[in-house]
């Protein structure tokens, strides 16, 4: 039924776009024959908006991965650099939350480790909605910020790094086998705000997958059992994504380092000039503030288009 609903939604989107195009085409022809300049201009504007809609729809047609239609987990980790890097990590987290809100995705904070002075050391959120993983998976990698640090009394320019990881959420239709002997499960007290119960009991859960070294943790719920279940889901997602990456490496004939999660993919420069540049595609935008406010669709579309062309 879920698959049926998704297919019906895709057909409905196509039929809506086709119907709107035919209506606008008829309206434009009538307006031109009657020399109605105002209507012609308005119709052309609506056609441009429809073109943008169809462009996005066309890209989504290439979401052929078995998890591309799924929700996803998005992790942010501050790099070396203390407060400066932690502040940058929080800026990135805010950017993705704003993007998700603009696209009507729901957001759930799974884990958040607050920095000592400002920002975050790490955080994990769940972006819930159709095609969230398909859109965000290209964001995995290292993001670099260049700016005059607000934490430097000498107003010097600093370079900060933060890494992004994106993993699909999937249902029981995809099986991931995990042996109990491969796991180490630790419990600890949740950090930060959360109420008396959360901070006084060991409700937070950390799971380490020994063969791969993957570590996941959850402290979002008051219940240790609920946090453990969420952490297991995250571990399954991480292991699944790891297998997908291995398959991609085998199929890729180019530089395998370009596939790795730790690669630098985007540079955000605020001083001495304003520029956000995707280092994989060369696409750049001068309005840094709007990008950090969640307006990253052009970067997502460009990176997905480049992947399709490969």
245: domain CATH number is 3.30.160.20
Q: What is the CA radius of gyration of the chain?
A: 22
Q: Are residues 109 and 161 in the same domain?
A: yes
| Domain-located, residue 67 | no
Is residue 144 within 8 A of residue 159, CB to CB? The reply is yes
Q: Are residues 122 and 199 in the same domain?
A: no
Q: Are residues 162 and 292 in the same domain?
A: yes
| Domain-located, residue 299 | yes
| Domain-located, residue 10 | yes
What is the β-pairing status of strands 141-148 and 157-168?
antiparallel
| pLDDT score for 118 | 85
Domain that holds residue 229: 180-249
Q: Are residues 282 and 222 in the same domain?
A: no
Q: Are residues 238 and 295 in the same domain?
A: no
| Domain-located, residue 258 | no
pLDDT digits (tens, 9 = 90+) for 113-158: 888 888 899 999 999 988 999 999 999 999 999 998 887 777 788 8
State the total domains in the chain. Answer: 3
Q: Are residues 105 and 161 in the same domain?
A: yes
Q: Are residues 279 and 160 in the same domain?
A: yes
Low-confidence ranges of the chain (pLDDT < 70): 171-175, 191-202, 247-262, 310
Q: Are residues 130 and 108 in the same domain?
A: yes
Q: Are residues 170 and 291 in the same domain?
A: yes
Q: Are residues 98 and 215 in the same domain?
A: no
| Domain-located, residue 97 | yes
| pLDDT score for 153 | 73
Q: Are residues 88 and 162 in the same domain?
A: yes
Is 251 exposed, middle or buried, given 0-12, 13-18 or 19+ CB atoms closer than 10 A? exposed
Q: Are residues 38 and 185 in the same domain?
A: no
């Amino acid at each position: 039924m879920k698959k049926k609903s998704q297919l019906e939604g895709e057909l409905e989107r196509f039929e809506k776009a086709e119907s709107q195009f035919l209506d606008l085409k008829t309206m434009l022809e009538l307006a031109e024959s009657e020399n109605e300049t105002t209507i012609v201009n308005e119709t052309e504007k609506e056609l441009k908006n429809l073109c943008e809609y169809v462009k996005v729809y066309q890209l989504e047609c290439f979401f052929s991965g078995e998890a591309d239609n799924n929700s996803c987990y998005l992790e942010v980790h501050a790099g070396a650099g203390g407060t400066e890097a932690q502040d940058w990590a929080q800026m990135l987290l805010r950017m993705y939350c704003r993007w998700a809100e603009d696209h009507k995705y729901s957001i759930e904070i799974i884990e958040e480790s607050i920095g000592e002075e400002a920002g975050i050391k790490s955080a994990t959120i769940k972006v819930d909605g159709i095609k969230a993983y398909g859109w965000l998976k290209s964001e995995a990698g290292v993001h670099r910020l260049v700016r005059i640090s607000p934490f430097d009394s000498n107003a010097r320019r600093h370079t900060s790094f933060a890494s992004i990881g994106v993993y699909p959420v999937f249902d029981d239709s995809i099986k991931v086998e995990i042996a109990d002997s491969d796991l180490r499960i630790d419990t600890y007290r949740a950090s930060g705000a959360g109420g008396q119960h959360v901070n006084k009991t060991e409700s937070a859960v950390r799971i380490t997958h020994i063969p791969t070294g993957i570590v996941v943790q959850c402290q979002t719920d008051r219940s240790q059992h609920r946090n453990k279940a969420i952490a297991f889901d995250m571990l399954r997602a991480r292991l699944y994504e790891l297998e997908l990456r291995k398959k991609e490496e085998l199929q890729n004939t180019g530089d395998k380092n370009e596939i790795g999660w730790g690669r630098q993919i985007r540079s955000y420069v605020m001083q001495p000039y304003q520029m956000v540049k995707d280092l994989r595609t060369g696409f750049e935008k001068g309005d840094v503030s709007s990008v950090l406010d969640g307006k990253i669709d052009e970067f997502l579309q460009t990176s997905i288009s480049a992947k399709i062309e490969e």
